[in-house]
Amino acid sequence: MKTTVILLRHAQSEGNLNRIYVGHSELPLSPLGLEQAKVCAEYVAQGGIPRPDVILSSDLMRAFQTALPTALALGLPILPDPALREIFSGNWEGRRFEDIARLYPECFRTWMEDPANSRPGEGESMRELYERIGDEFDRIVETYRGKTVLAVTHATPIRCLHCRAVFGTVDRMGETDWFPNASFTVLESEDGVLREARGGFAGHLSGKMLFVE
């Protein structure tokens, strides 16, 4: 029995716009992000992706704000899921990327060049996130077997699940790109086999609506 999990990266946040590392901290969507969230809702409602039976969201504000227009369009509740949160990044949180590079050069270099072995800000390591988000994905598949689930989450958890589906390991994360804000990644799990049907799709966004950080 096939279970489909559609990962939606939250729309542009004030952190994305101002190049602030947010992690578990709270910053809302930017004005552009609010518009992106509406475009995502329209795309889902028009059948651009399989119609979700369930909507899960990271409990952080920027993810919940992204999920809200789609939930309203489909008449579904948003089920908050803290396990879908972004990586926790300790003393990097709330700092601008340029300041992180200056204050923590070795740690930042590892994050950029060898992400699989990074531990940003002495917080959660990438391998710990890979395990956390992988365990949560398995729980979602088991709980909603045979259904289609929309899970609104963050860049790094999506990157981890992309690696799991495509490579089967976090070790090749350095080969992957960041998917854009408000992009869809479609994963299918059937008989214990995981495949990525669509990765980082942003065809519903155009012009200024497409923001790639």
**Residues with active-site annotation:** 10, 86
d(CA 212, CA 183) in angstroms, rounded, equals 10
Which two structure tokens, joined as six digits, stand for 82?
């803290």
* DSSP structural state of residue 56: E
Q: Positive or negative CA dihedral for 14, 152, 187, 123?
A: positive
d(CA 121, CA 115) in angstroms, rounded, equals 13
For residue 165, the one-letter residue type is A
Which two structure tokens, joined as six digits, stand for 209?
């609506």
Which two structure tokens, joined as six digits, stand for 205?
């966004």
Which two structure tokens, joined as six digits, stand for 74?
């489909």
Please state the length of the chain: 213
